[in-house]
């Protein structure tokens, strides 16, 4: 990442580790309910009255993001948002975060502070308190690693789907993939470009939706759509030992995504099924859920759409395409150890 013009001191260097920690702690929420000891001691001490949820995710420059396409604040937001989405998929409430950052030579204080401002914005939006972390130098790319703790009553997992359940998703799909395409090709002009690029840079984790789904007993399994709808659905099918039929015509795709796909000479459903990083929720629910879908959508603050059905494993895994034809459902999407950098 090129240093900001306003501060080319570099890190670490003239700004020491403890001075930087003191500057950064002012940019994120550090105190609140349940925090006994936070930043400043060897270990944070917190209280969680219900089941504890723990997740972690790392964002690495050149793999998960590029500074030419995302501002430092967006990187900070995104680092917490991807963890918030994991907590959301389990039906939990996020509570406490630990943040570790690896800083390469030449990075500026100003840019590191901007990253933490973005992370702080995401934390405040979802009631998260930053209770600790670590700062270190690296000879490699900048990396931001977040561990997030949450709590839940009823927990949703990938393994609860049963034949006869519907397959549902929140929101619309393909927005992040369309936004990434437009961020890479700035010469493509379209009215909705800014909204789509923002969907890629600053995903909206469905925390409220996850809690609403967990509260409804008809919901049987859930996962967040991070690696692609097709691939994440297969994760649920594998964990639940079932098959599925996905109806392509029911997959919700926003008109802006269709317009961007037209500009890219692509099928928008490729983005919707394989693009990933939408951070919507894919879930399964028993047949009685249809009667409550609108009520749940209002509580979740986002639309929910049925896109398929769970079938016995012996019936296979299929995508219904127009004209009644079907094609095998394959786990196409993002693989951190195989896929190329975004």
Domain count, the chain: 2
Q: Tokens 């379209």 belong to which residue? A: 190
- CATH number, residue 119: 3.30.1330.10
Same domain, 224 and 87: no
Under a CB-based contact definition with an 8 Å cutoff, are residues 23 and 113 in contact?
yes
Asked whether residue 213 falls in the same domain as residue 137, the answer is no
What ranges in 215-292 are assigned the alpha helix state H?
229-240, 255-264, 268-274
Half-sphere exposure of 226 (CA within 13 A, CB side): 20
Sign of the dihedral defined by the CA atoms of residues 107, 204, 125, 150, in that order: negative
In order along its 342 residues, the chain shows pLDDT tens digits of 333 333 333 554 556 777 888 888 888 888 888 888 888 888 989 999 999 999 999 999 998 998 888 999 999 999 999 999 999 999 999 999 999 999 999 899 999 999 999 999 999 999 999 999 999 999 999 999 999 999 999 999 999 999 999 999 999 999 999 999 999 876 677 778 899 999 999 999 999 999 999 999 999 999 999 999 999 999 999 999 999 999 999 999 999 999 999 888 889 999 999 998 999 999 999 999 999 999 999 999 999 999 999 999 999 999 999 887 999 999 875 444 344 545
Three-class SS state of 57: strand
Q: Could you tell me the residue range of the domain that residue 220 belongs to?
A: 158-328
**Does 6 reside within a domain?**
no
Same domain as 309, residue 174: yes
Task: Please identify, among 121, 152, 183, the residue that sits at the C-terminal boundary of a domain.
Answer: 152
194 and 142 together in one domain: no
CATH of residue 174: 3.90.650.10
Instruction: Identify the CA nearest to 20 among candidates 111, 122, 139, 92.
Output: 111
Q: Are 196 and 179 in contact (CB under 8 A)?
A: yes
Structural domain includes residue 4: no
Dist CA 126 CA 17 (whole Å): 28
The span from the CA of 71 to the CA of 73, in Å, is 5
State how far the alpha carbon of 276 is from the alpha carbons of 41, 89, 122, in Å. 38, 15, 20
Tell me the CA end-to-end span of the chain in Å, nearest whole number. 16
d(CA 171, CA 174): 10
Residues 86, 26 share a domain: yes
Asked if 118 and 199 sit in the same domain, the reply is no
Residues 145 and 198 placed together within one structural domain of the fold = no
Q: Which one of 136, 152, 168 terminates a domain?
A: 152
Closest CA to 277 of 128, 57, 55: 57
Report which DSSP code applies to 165. P
Domain assignment present for 3: no
**Long-range contacts made by residues 287-296, C-beta under 8 angstroms, separation at least 24?**
287/164, 287/165, 287/166, 288/218, 289/166, 289/168, 289/216, 289/218, 289/219, 290/166, 292/216, 292/218, 293/168, 296/212, 296/213, 296/216
- Let me know whether 119 and 226 are in one domain: no
The Cα–Cα gap between 141 and 64 comes to 11
Q: Is there a contact between 88 and 219 (Cβ–Cβ < 8 Å)?
A: no
Same domain for 204 and 265, yes or no, is yes
- The closest alpha carbon to 238, from 142, 159, 134, 130, belongs to 159
Indicate whether 143 and 167 sit together in one domain. no
Pairing of strands 317-320, 243-247: parallel
* Any domain includes 334: no
Nearest C-alpha neighbor of 67 from the set 118, 30, 11: 118
Residue 168 lies in a domain: yes
Q: Of 93, 121, 152, which closes a domain?
A: 152
Q: Residue 120: enclosing H or E segment and its boundaries?
A: helix 109-125
Residue 123, preceding bond cis, omega within 30 degrees?
no
Strand-pairing partners, residue 304, are: 170
Of 169, 168, 174, which is closest to residue 270 (Cα–Cα)? 174
3-state SS of 296-329 is: HHHHHCCCEEEEEEEECHHHCEEEECHHHCEEEC
Residue 41 lies in a domain: yes
In a domain, 5, yes or no: no
CA–CA distance, 233 with 239 (Å, rounded to integer): 10
The answer on 191 and 138 residing in a single domain is no
Distance CA 54, CA 289 (A): 29
Give the Cα separation of 194 and 316 in Å (integer): 40
Residues 166 and 225 in one domain: yes
Q: Would residue 236 count as lying in a domain?
A: yes
């Amino acid at each position: 990442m090129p240093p900001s013009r306003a501060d080319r001191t570099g890190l670490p260097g003239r700004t020491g580790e403890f001075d930087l920690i003191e500057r950064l702690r002012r940019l994120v929420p550090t105190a609140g309910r349940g925090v006994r000891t936070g930043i400043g001691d060897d270990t944070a001490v917190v209280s969680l009255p219900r089941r504890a949820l723990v997740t972690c995710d790392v964002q690495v420059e050149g793999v998960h993001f590029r500074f030419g396409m995302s501002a430092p604040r967006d990187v900070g937001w995104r680092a917490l948002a991807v963890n918030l989405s994991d907590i959301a998929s389990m039906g939990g409430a996020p509570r406490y975060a630990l943040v570790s950052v690896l800083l390469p030579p030449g990075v500026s204080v100003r840019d590191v502070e901007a990253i933490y401002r973005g992370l702080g914005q995401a934390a405040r939006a979802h009631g998260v308190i930053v209770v600790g972390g670590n700062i270190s130098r690296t000879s490699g790319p900048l990396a931001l690693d977040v561990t997030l703790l949450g709590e839940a009553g009823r927990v949703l997992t990938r393994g609860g789907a049963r034949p006869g359940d519907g397959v549902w998703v929140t929101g619309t799909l393909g927005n992040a993939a369309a936004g990434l395409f437009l961020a890479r090709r700035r010469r493509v002009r379209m009215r909705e470009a800014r909204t789509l690029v923002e969907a890629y840079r600053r995903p909206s984790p469905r925390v409220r939706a996850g809690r609403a789904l967990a509260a409804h007993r008809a919901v049987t399994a859930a996962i967040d759509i991070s690696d692609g709808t097709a691939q994440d659905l297969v994760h649920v099918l594998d964990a639940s030992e079932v098959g599925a039929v996905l109806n392509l015509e029911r997959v919700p795709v926003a008109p802006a995504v269709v317009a961007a796909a037209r500009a890219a000479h692509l099928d928008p459903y490729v983005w919707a099924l394989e693009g990933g990083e939408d951070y919507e929720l894919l879930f399964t629910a028993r047949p009685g859920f249809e009667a409550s879908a609108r009520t749940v959508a209002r509580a979740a603050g986002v639309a929910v759409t049925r896109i398929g059905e769970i079938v016995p494993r012996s019936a296979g895994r299929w995508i219904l395409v127009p004209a009644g034809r079907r094609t095998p459902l394959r786990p196409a999407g993002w693989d951190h150890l195989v896929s190329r950098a975004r």
